[in-house]
Amino acid sequence: MLKKIVSKLLKKKIGFFGKYEKFSDALEKCDGYHNNNLIKHVYNQNVNAIKKNMYEQDGIIYENPIINKFILNFFLKNIVENQNFSFTRKIKILDYGGSFGNLFYSLRNFIHLNFEWDIVEQKKKVDLAKKSKYFRDVNFKYNYESLKKYDLIIFNTSYQYLFDPFTQFNKLRTRSNNFIFTNIILNNTNKNYIRIENPDPKVYEYKYPCWFFSKKFLFNNLFKKFKIITNKIDNPPYPLIRNENYYNILLIKK
């Protein structure tokens, strides 16, 4: 059954294709990273979702919030169950690559905590969000050099799409003791490489470069000063080849 599903997806050109060492080489073959039409479409869908008291995810509007359980469990175990925790204190979150705040709106209405929520995004998205009255509950930024300290920094299906993810993390590693990465793809080789993602056309038809990180490199080098908690995703969104797997990762500074 699984082989038939994978075969159908590959025939439709859905999933990951090619193999590149440089992000810029893959970017030349893609049309979604800075596409104005896509950015405007996602913006409009977010506005429509907020107006209807609904939720946006990848340009699709849903009646109920879609929240990664790995993120939700962090709040339940490390904040809500903490006897010394005060519900009046603002929880400072940096949602890196958080689009127009879909995680914030979903999580706020689900867990009812007092968030101070910052999002770092492309300037085009930040400019749109700041002009709209619908996104006033979120602080949008495109210059992360002036960021403060955070209780948690989240890369919610965003870290693998950054142009230079290693430099970005090294600049942020002193800004929090806790980091979460969701839907990150790790490989069991010694190399980091890039493949091009062809999303399901039901979402949109734009292509993106996507990093496939060496698990050894991340854990033994970039994340070596952190306690690492992982959750392997057994039902991946798109088919992968052997030695590649989706993970959720929590880093806690030692």
Tens-digit pLDDT profile for residues 72-122: 999 888 776 665 556 667 899 999 999 999 999 999 877 878 899 999 999
Tokens of 129: 């969000």
φ, ψ of residue 193 in degrees (nearest 5)? -145, 170
Q: Has residue 6 got a pLDDT over 60?
A: no
Look at the pTM and tell me if it is higher than 0.75: yes
| Torsion angle (degrees, nearest 10) of CA 123, 129, 135, 139 | 20
Tokens of 214: 């060496």
C-alpha to C-alpha distance for 100 and 50, rounded to whole angstroms: 11
Per residue in 157-176, pLDDT (tens digit) is 999 999 999 999 999 999 99
110 within 8 A of 65, measured Cβ to Cβ: yes
As for how many domains the chain has, the answer is 1
The CATH number given to whatever domain includes residue 207 is 3.40.50.150
The runs of H, that is alpha helices, within 29-175 are 36-51, 69-75, 102-111, 123-131, 165-172
Question: DSSP per residue over 107-137, as a string?
Answer: HHHHH---EEEEEE--HHHHHHHHH-GGGTT
Three-state secondary structure call for residue 194: strand
Domain ranges, residue 137: 2-253
